[in-house]
Chains A and B, each alone.
Chain A
Amino acid sequence: MRIVLLTTEFPPRVVGELSNMVSFIARFLSNNGFDVSIITFDDWRSGFEVKSGMKVYYVSNKVSFHVNPFTWASSLSCEYTRILSDLLWEKQGFDIIHAFEWSAALPLIPLKDVIPIPYVQSFLSLEELRSHSNLSLLGQTIKWVESFSSSLADSIVAHSEATYSMIRALYPWCVKKLHLVDFNDANAVEKIIRIYKEVSKLG
């Protein structure tokens, strides 16, 4: 099964918990025979390398000045689209796209209607939780992206109990496709593989 992981953090770029989590999933999948490609942001370089069997595509943001994280993620998403397009044109496609957090969901929103590749969306947290429900205008914009990407995703993975409960409360229409995968759980990646198989045509 050919998996593409979209993330804004992947080692050596470690900002928070996300980087190591994506790295852990990617390595596990790769070690278990999955064909894994990762598209990630890097501050300093763009390019491609094979790392422990995983294909890692680094993209930089063509726009270096920004006024908020949304403008940053929006311009960056074009570079994700470019790599995804290259993968679709040159590598005859893939079976699953798995995006981590709202920032990596942006390139998938326009594509979902026309490119029928199963799409899994992971949330470590939600803007509603980060802002303690006191949403600024920026927070409302991000919340819109979270909500819209949730509606488009074939499966949603919450990586904590709090995130899981918040998604249930905010987006009750997502409950049927919502999964809780806590990385404190020893079988976390196996659960993710099961989700992939559920949503994939190969599953």
Chain B
Amino acid sequence: MDRLRVLMLSWEYPPRVIGGLATHVKHLTDELRKIGVEITLLTCNYPGAPETERIENMTVKRVESYTAPTPDFASWVLLMNINMEREAVKTVKEWGGIDIVHAHDWLVAKPAISIKHLCRVPLISTIHSTEHGRRHGLYSDYQRMIHQIEWWLTYESWKVVCCSNYMKEEVVRFFNTPPDKILVIPNGVDKTQFDHYSCQRDFRSRYAADQEKIILFVGRLVPEKGVNVLLGAMPSVLNSHPEAKLVVVGEGYYKEELMRIAGKLSISPKVYFTGYVDDDTLKMLYKCASVAVFPSLYEPFGIVALEAMASGVPIIVSDVGGLSEIVEDNFNGLKVEANNSVSLSRAICYLLDNPEAAERFKQNAFKKVIEIYDWRSIAERTRELYLRTVQEARGNPWMRGNLPATS
């Protein structure tokens, strides 16, 4: 086929970065356009960001998302969806048809499903996480509603992409999605992003004293990230390694509670909550850390662990979800039991005591980044999926790929 035209929908795209989704979509679209896929990405507007941006054969359109007051987040999402759908229809008209609509998560399910039916075009969805998984169950109508929207998106999709086998199993279990409808394509990491960064003494001294060894956590400060478990491990770590210093990077509604826990454990002077940091600072922090720890209780993928691997810092992860698939225990990092502070403190002490093991893990981890988690190969697998889907859809008399003509 001459050109592959993909209408991609994601509520996050830089500079609007809420979680890992923005980074995923940015890298994926960057590589897809480099291998010739024509993309229009619809996303939410952001102060200072242009309404329309053209990057080679890709167009980013940022739609108005603060249209009217809404009573809750889901209502805001559904209101934003109206504007996104309007822009999607206009894009199809401008293009004179599309080949694929690709939706990322439930927040864009409604416009994606509408476009699928209106233009009779195959829908591909990427499910980055599930409400059931994020909440460890469904306890309110609000959560059940989001869960059903997620199910609806998978139901309407031609193919569903998950970033790990763990997520695939979750989607099959929660939504009864046929396993052969799901394709696992991992997240990736830009292996060159740390090339020009090193640990500068002046910079490091802002976070730890010269003799202190930095134990780094990066992520949203929400219960599912398990930072409370890491705090629980610190008294024991500090007992044998008084030179350790925990640096917690990130923001979230759980931050105050975590600070309270640190106070209760009498480790506040040894824990530094940095809050949100910019990209350069984060990269230098990775370079200064002795060990990076990701003690999540729920983690569909865990892109921060990949970033740590690319930066050359040895990692410890909890044995859950996607993290468990990224790390091969005692080869490219250490795995510990989730929600177990004792197990975690032992692993931290092991890495601080064994620099040779830490070095081996770092090297093996970087090799894995190159071999498996390179964005170019991920984009190529995604393009293959698009092409296969278009090929399959071609035989289906229902498919049209354009707006209906009106009499």
Contact segment of B143-151, B172-180, B296-304 = B143-151
User: Which label, helix, strand, loop or mixed, suits the secondary structure of the B interface?
Assistant: helix
Closest B residue to A64 using CB positions: B148
CA A89 to CA B406, docked complex, whole Å: 8
B43-80 CB mask vs A (1 if < 8 Å, else 0) is: 00000000000000000000000011111101100110
- Could you tell me if B71 and A110 are in contact, using CB atoms closer than 8 angstroms? no
A52-82 CB mask vs B (1 if < 8 Å, else 0) is: 0000000000111111101100110110011
**Smallest Cβ distance from A133 to chain B, in angstroms?**
15
**Smallest Cβ distance from B65 to chain A, in angstroms?**
13
- Could you tell me if B120 and A89 are in contact, using CB atoms closer than 8 angstroms? yes
**Smallest Cβ distance from A180 to chain B, in angstroms?**
27
By size class, the interface of chain A is: 35 or more
The answer to whether the Cβ of A47 comes within 8 Å of any Cβ in the partner chain is no
Contact segment of A9-17, A35-43, A112-120, A183-191 = A112-120
- Could you tell me if A71 and B407 are in contact, using CB atoms closer than 8 angstroms? no
Closest A residue to B150 using CB positions: A63
The answer to whether the Cβ of A46 comes within 8 Å of any Cβ in the partner chain is no
- Could you tell me if B69 and A74 are in contact, using CB atoms closer than 8 angstroms? no
CA A65 to CA B89, docked complex, whole Å: 28
- Could you tell me if B145 and A110 are in contact, using CB atoms closer than 8 angstroms? no
- Could you tell me if B75 and A141 are in contact, using CB atoms closer than 8 angstroms? yes
- Could you tell me if B79 and A141 are in contact, using CB atoms closer than 8 angstroms? yes
- Could you tell me if A113 and B71 are in contact, using CB atoms closer than 8 angstroms? no
The answer to whether the Cβ of A92 comes within 8 Å of any Cβ in the partner chain is yes
- Could you tell me if A62 and B74 are in contact, using CB atoms closer than 8 angstroms? no
The answer to whether the Cβ of A170 comes within 8 Å of any Cβ in the partner chain is no
- Could you tell me if B89 and A66 are in contact, using CB atoms closer than 8 angstroms? no
- Could you tell me if B114 and A81 are in contact, using CB atoms closer than 8 angstroms? yes
Q: Which of A63, A67, A82, A136 contacts B117 (CB 8 A)?
A: A82
Q: Which of B78, B86, B148, B407 contacts A65 (CB 8 A)?
A: B148
- Could you tell me if A113 and B407 are in contact, using CB atoms closer than 8 angstroms? no
* Residues of B with C-beta under 8 A to A82: 114, 117
The answer to whether the Cβ of B142 comes within 8 Å of any Cβ in the partner chain is yes
- Could you tell me if B70 and A137 are in contact, using CB atoms closer than 8 angstroms? yes
The answer to whether the Cβ of A85 comes within 8 Å of any Cβ in the partner chain is yes
The answer to whether the Cβ of B269 comes within 8 Å of any Cβ in the partner chain is no
B367-403 CB mask vs A (1 if < 8 Å, else 0) is: 0000000000000000000000000000000001001
**Smallest Cβ distance from A150 to chain B, in angstroms?**
14
- Could you tell me if B403 and A114 are in contact, using CB atoms closer than 8 angstroms? yes
Q: Which of B75, B86, B117, B152 contacts A138 (CB 8 A)?
A: B75
CA A17 to CA B145, docked complex, whole Å: 29
Q: Which of A68, A75, A92, A106 contacts B149 (CB 8 A)?
A: A75
- Could you tell me if B406 and A70 are in contact, using CB atoms closer than 8 angstroms? no
Q: Which of A62, A85, A144 contacts B118 (CB 8 A)?
A: A85
- Could you tell me if B70 and A141 are in contact, using CB atoms closer than 8 angstroms? yes
- Could you tell me if B148 and A62 are in contact, using CB atoms closer than 8 angstroms? yes
Closest A residue to B400 using CB positions: A89
* Residues of B with C-beta under 8 A to A107: 114
Closest B residue to A66 using CB positions: B145
- Could you tell me if A144 and B407 are in contact, using CB atoms closer than 8 angstroms? no
**Smallest Cβ distance from A202 to chain B, in angstroms?**
11
* Residues of B with C-beta under 8 A to A86: 117
**Smallest Cβ distance from B143 to chain A, in angstroms?**
8
A93-122 CB mask vs B (1 if < 8 Å, else 0) is: 100000000000011011101111100000
* Residues of B with C-beta under 8 A to A114: 89-90, 92-93, 403
* Residues of B with C-beta under 8 A to A81: 114, 117-118
**Smallest Cβ distance from B372 to chain A, in angstroms?**
36
* Residues of B with C-beta under 8 A to A75: 78, 110, 149, 152
**Smallest Cβ distance from A183 to chain B, in angstroms?**
30
**Smallest Cβ distance from A154 to chain B, in angstroms?**
14
- Could you tell me if B404 and A85 are in contact, using CB atoms closer than 8 angstroms? yes
**Smallest Cβ distance from B4 to chain A, in angstroms?**
23
CA A77 to CA B113, docked complex, whole Å: 11
Closest B residue to A201 using CB positions: B407
17 A-B pairs besides A62-B155, A88-B405, A136-B71 with CB distance below 8 A are A64-B148, A67-B71, A67-B142, A70-B70, A71-B75, A74-B78, A74-B79, A81-B114, A81-B117, A88-B406, A89-B120, A89-B404, A109-B86, A111-B89, A114-B92, A117-B406, A143-B68
Chain A residues within CB distance 8 Å of chain B: 62-68, 70-71, 74-75, 77-78, 81-82, 85-86, 88-89, 92-93, 106-107, 109-111, 113-117, 136-138, 140-141, 143-144
Closest 4 CB pairs of A and B: A144-B68, A88-B404, A110-B85, A74-B78
Interchain residue pairs with CB less than 8 A apart (19): A62-B152, A64-B148, A65-B141, A67-B71, A71-B74, A74-B110, A75-B149, A78-B117, A85-B120, A86-B117, A88-B406, A89-B120, A109-B86, A110-B88, A110-B111, A114-B403, A116-B406, A143-B68, A144-B67
